[in-house]
Chain A
Amino acid sequence: MTRGVWTYAGADALWRRFQPLTPFGRDAKARMVPITGRAALEERYDLTDAALALLGTLDTDRVTLDRIHHHLRRLPRFPEARQEVFDEVEVFQLKKFLFNHRSLLSLLPETLGQRFGLREIPGGLVELLGAGRQGDESFYVADAYDPELAEVRRALREADAASSCLREEYERALLERWGFAFEGRAFLLVPRERIDDASAAAALLEVEPWDADRLCVRPRAGAPSLCLAEETSALLSRERSLEARVLEALSAPLSAALPFFLEQARAVEAFDLALAGARLAREAGLTRPVLHYGEIVIERGRHLPTETLCGSLGTPYAPLDATFDGGPTVIFGSNMGGKTVVLKTLAFLQLVAQAGLFVPAARFATRVFRHLHYVGEGREREEGRGLSGFGFEIRQFNEAHADFGGETLALFDEFARTTSSGEAEALLSAILEELAGKPRVVALFSTHFRGVRRLPGVRYFRMGGLDRTRLDLAVPGGTGDADLAARIRHIDRQMRYCLEPDAPGERRSDAVTVAALLGLSPALARRAGDFLKQEN
């Protein structure tokens, strides 16, 4: 799949709302690779159905659902490679994963957990990583891991207490002599007159001038303090090496359990994706696609970006009903008649389905395509710098053509519109002829060129167009943007957005009427109509 077809379809409109909660699920979403295996897709749909069933049972138990979401959100990444020694942060990550994974398991029905491959991580790690007084989701090398470590820390506490005693004694002496104390501050700015004899004060304070009025004083450590500091430094160094020893000891069982962690991360990813898909299916009214080898059937398929746009414009939105078989289909239609929306709706539904999500349609039966291509306006042009619009389209076509041997969905939106109609019709006819013999390719062409050849194996449709039985040419008034919005609403209300079989030789054009409805001068519209009649 190229990024172009994704952008063309506006698939981000739904993809943005797909919100996995774990880093594993978010990574999978970020990869955004369409699934091209039918079995893999069916498995994704089955898992989403299982998650939907879970959501159904939890409709009356919001607390459990909130707790499931809570633990999913708290599952962290962890190191994925075995290591001789995991450091404190890595042990923390594994411990936090372990706790939330276990909590998640306890909230899910056993059969559902099994369905996703969720199971306990063996090895008694919860107890191992919870030694001492520490939280379920935090970690430090507690005293309980090593008696020698506990002993060193006891000595550190004693040294700290002794240091506090010395400090208090020292502060008392300062208070008695000068009436101030540091109280934890690293230095003080003292008026010069407070220090009667600066050189004598040097026994207790480090004194340096600050400005004309004040001195900057810092505590001067006495010999006992220095001894304590040295002792503390040695103890801290010993503490670090003992902590390293504990971490090394913890790392062996963690390394042994790492394959289980990785397996469970994949299981969590599957559950997270399925639950996110199920939530989205409920919120957006999505249904499970049907995968088969036959024709594509769309019943009330919705292109969500267009539906949203119609909502904001206040115009009715017509979902799509259509059937497309293998080989090429040509769709004719007037401007603003909805040809492009038909193509976009199919692209949208197909991409969403192959992304593993349910789709906005009453029914969407489709094939699984290995390749999806879009040829037409709107694709990124950077790569085609130096080419004309036509040249760029041919390049796009060549990419698609290379995949015509396999299961491919190719959408051509007004292909070759920038060249002459005769040449465009010739090109299109040649492509249609080739595709007519390739039922594994589903190709849709929207076009204005009615001169394309009528060929066996090619289906021809047209958009319903303006409803001439109740055509109202009186455009509502307005100015500026309001005028345009009113005109668009007026046109939309008179359009029939549906596909109808197109018979050869049929000549019906809405373009001049649409132009008039969009504000073309009535005189010009009339004259254009005259010319059209003469030609016909």
Chain B
Amino acid sequence: MTGLEGVAGGVTAVTGFEKGSGKTTFLNALLPVARRAGPVAVFSVGVDGGLKARSGTAAPEILVEEGDVVLTTDSFARSSSARLEVLETLPGRSVLGRLLLGRAVRRGGVTLVGPENLAALSGAVDLVREERWAASSIVDGAADRVTQLGALGDVGFVYTVRVDRANLLRVAGRLRALVALSELPVVPDPPEGVLRLDGPLTDAVRQGLPASVVTLSLEDFTKVFLPAGELLRLLARISCSVRRGFRLLGVVPSLRDVGPEELCREVGPAVAARLLPNPYEVAA
């Protein structure tokens, strides 16, 4: 898949603006791309709400091949059709059991379960890298955990979005804002005279900015909590930079009753250039 060259051998977070955007579905299609560099480690942030509530909804599984490493719990490892060799246990216990890193000794389906806190996830990603258990890492990043994923270090982000008639305009605005953020210049040490913002950029913070501000340094994209329209207006008015970069590998749209040309028109050329083909689409 063009645009996903950095996935093999790197750390990639698959995320979306909201639940049900098709993250896990896309993640399964991304695994063969990542495996080009060798075994893949697959993680999740937090526990899926449906699983936590034991609501009986089918747990989304990923398909691991022999040698892949996966973060899950002992109970999900037992009920998996894959066989896992226990490589490490994580401190603490999730509501779904003890968290473990397991290596598949037989391929099959496994349900991902992640730790509730970022430090444990970060530790697990680092451990896999240090121990060279896998060449690439992929994180299934729940929509509300993007802020935490930003702290994982050099992570490439892939956004999955469901687009239909009802949300086309809203999603287009959010995508324009997302791409604009990803294209902000990275200036780790902003020069004197640049207003340095530590912490989140919320609407209240934006309103409190002095009228004289012409240059603004943001921590990183995950700390921006402005509605898309507000953000785009701010970026047009003030020259912004980020102290930590954000690698947007691309956006994978899942279209329903919206044609690809229409989406491209609505999002504009900057976003259109970042759209990746949906691997589940068959060409006409």
> A-side interface residues toward B, CB under 8 Å?
76, 87-89, 92-93, 134-135, 137-140, 153, 156-157, 160, 180, 184-191, 193-194, 210-213, 232, 236, 240
Contacts and interface: CB of A to CB of B under 8 A. Distances in A.
Contacts of A194: 282, 284
B14 to A, nearest CB: 16
Contacts of A138: 85-87, 103
A93 B91 CA distance: 12
A139 B85 contact: yes
Contacts of A232: 81
A185 B279 contact: yes
Interface string B273-284: 000001111111
Nearest to A244: B78
Contacts of A185: 28-29, 279-280
Contacts of A180: 282
Contact of B256 (A93, A211, A240): A211
B280 A187 contact: yes
Contact of B282 (A93, A137, A189, A212): A189
Given A88-B74, A211-B257, A240-B78, A191 B86 contact: no
Nearest to A93: B89
Nearest to A134: B85
Nearest to A243: B78
12 contacts: A89-B86, A137-B87, A138-B85, A138-B103, A140-B83, A140-B86, A185-B279, A188-B281, A191-B283, A194-B282, A194-B284, A212-B257
B105 interface: yes
B89 A191 contact: no
B168 interface: no
B282 A190 contact: yes
B284 A210 contact: no
Nearest 8 interchain pairs by C-beta: A92-B86, A140-B85, A211-B257, A191-B284, A190-B282, A211-B256, A180-B282, A138-B85
A87 B81 CA distance: 18
B280 A188 contact: yes
A59 to B, nearest CB: 26
Contacts of B86: 88-89, 92, 138-140
Contacts of A191: 282-284
Given A211-B255, A232-B81, 9 more contacts: A92-B89, A93-B89, A135-B85, A160-B107, A180-B282, A189-B282, A190-B282, A193-B284, A212-B257
Interface residues on B, range: 20 to 34
A89 B98 contact: yes
Contacts of B83: 140
B89 A89 contact: yes
Contact of A89 (B81, B100, B282): B100
A76 B282 contact: no
A186 B29 CA distance: 10
B260 to A, nearest CB: 11
Nearest to B281: A189
B86, B105, B280 — most chain A CB neighbours (10 Å): B86
Given A185-B29, A186-B25, A187-B280, A87 B74 contact: yes
Contacts of A139: 85-86
Interface string B209-241: 000000000000000000000000000000000
A187 B254 CA distance: 13
Given A89-B100, A189-B281, A236 B87 contact: no
Contact of B63 (A153, A156, A184, A193): A184
B190 interface: no
Contacts of B280: 185, 187-189
A76, A138, A157, A160 — most chain B CB neighbours (10 Å): A138
A186 B256 contact: no
Contacts of B63: 184
A186 B24 CA distance: 12
B112 interface: no
Interface of B: 25, 28-29, 32, 63, 74, 77-78, 81, 83-87, 89, 98, 100, 103, 105-107, 255-257, 259, 278-284
A240 B84 CA distance: 13
Nearest to A195: B282
B28 A236 contact: no
A427 B63 CA distance: 77
Contacts of B84: 140
A58 to B, nearest CB: 23
Nearest to A140: B85
A368 to B, nearest CB: 35
A99 to B, nearest CB: 13
Contacts of B106: 153, 156-157
A184 B86 CA distance: 26
B83 to A, nearest CB: 6
Nearest to B107: A160
A472 to B, nearest CB: 38
B29, B83, B85, B255 — most chain A CB neighbours (10 Å): B85
A186 B107 CA distance: 16
A180 B74 CA distance: 38
A371 to B, nearest CB: 35
Contacts of A76: 89
Nearest to B84: A140
Nearest to A88: B86
A61 B77 CA distance: 42
A82 to B, nearest CB: 19
Contacts of B256: 210-211
Contacts of B257: 211-212
Nearest to B133: A138
Contacts of B282: 180, 188-191, 194
Contacts of A92: 86, 89
A88 B77 CA distance: 10
A92 B86 CA distance: 7
B278 A189 contact: yes
A302 B32 CA distance: 61
B25, B105, B281 — most chain A CB neighbours (10 Å): B105
Nearest to B31: A184
Contacts of A135: 85
A189 B255 CA distance: 10
Contacts of A140: 83-86, 105
Contacts of A153: 106
A134 B260 CA distance: 49
Contacts of B77: 88
B107 to A, nearest CB: 8
A93 B87 CA distance: 10
B60 to A, nearest CB: 10
A87 B87 CA distance: 14
Contacts of A137: 87
A93 B29 CA distance: 34
A531 B25 CA distance: 86
A210 B163 CA distance: 13
B44 to A, nearest CB: 18
